[in-house]
Structure 1
């Protein structure tokens, strides 16, 4: 392993689940689990004290659920950690509440070990990750709200919504398909560094904290 490992905090009220996650993440070689917490309150305190790069957050826990804990961690300017919600429950209310709270990822506990490791790495890099079936539901949620609206080839941008360049629009549409920067670069025949620049510009223009927030904003405002 080279470089500084990704610092992860595990917040889950089941000790066996935390032990399993620790084993999976530390076996990756570039991730170090720096702490554990069994409740939402403990999770917020641990995130403040330990300053991890990524928090893996359960939803249903004693004293404070993971959604409120996520909201408090993301809202605290003294905590720079990204939060990946990892839950047993594939429920839309949990999914959209987690995104509204500022989570950078939403993963189900039946995901494979490689998916958990990828989610932590992606969140630590400042990007966001949703399972493919979850991404489809996010898109469908906002697409359904626009089902009755006309769909011209080039949509008019609503007043107050930032104008994106043609290339930025292409990149955003591919981000909405859950493609990685490398996959977008291959699709558009451009360099991965150029894709990163376009994604950064899109996030800045939309005022979005990460890729998930950008996709939600884009569908809400008819940009994709």
Structure 2
């Protein structure tokens, strides 16, 4: 991350740049195109489909009033997700002025909110754009991390051996039934029969039905999930990261 102080003097926005609130239903196809092109040569960014874009605000807590876009010739040229910091931005090639107009708009928002310091992802474009408007940035240390589940079924399939071991060594060793685990981006079923656990697509009327948020799924995996289901507490115990034997070294 890079930190920056809001400039004392903020330049005016180019009148030809029309800044507006992003309308997902209307703007999503253009938004996806900008994101894909902006991140095409970057390592580590997510491949996002329409479903991902639509549900992301639910677990990221994005204020829709702070999601701004600039259009050129009727299509999105740049976008910025704001808040106390710049959560995300992107722009098309040769549309730096559109991006700068969004930054200036964001600076004015921070001023109105009385926020003097903020942050932005440390990528090449950040340094370039901020340099053009004379805003100094500095590297900051971030002691937190964000995890995204990209293939929940794969995680569960790889974990079946350790889940079976936990089941076998518990008072629920003879338990049989189904456990449905669903969250915003996926829906999977654990089928338990004769001590064997299989992962499958969901079926109706599961024995245990867990309807979770993405954060709760991460808590489940990282051993920080509290539940009233004794069986779930056995399969996903507190303070035990979900690992399988090949990774225990």
Structure with greater helix share of residues: 1
Structure with greater strand share of residues: 2
- Answer 1 or 2: higher relative contact order, Cα 8 Å, separation at least 6: 2
TM-score by length of 1: 0.25
* Larger Rg over CA atoms: 2
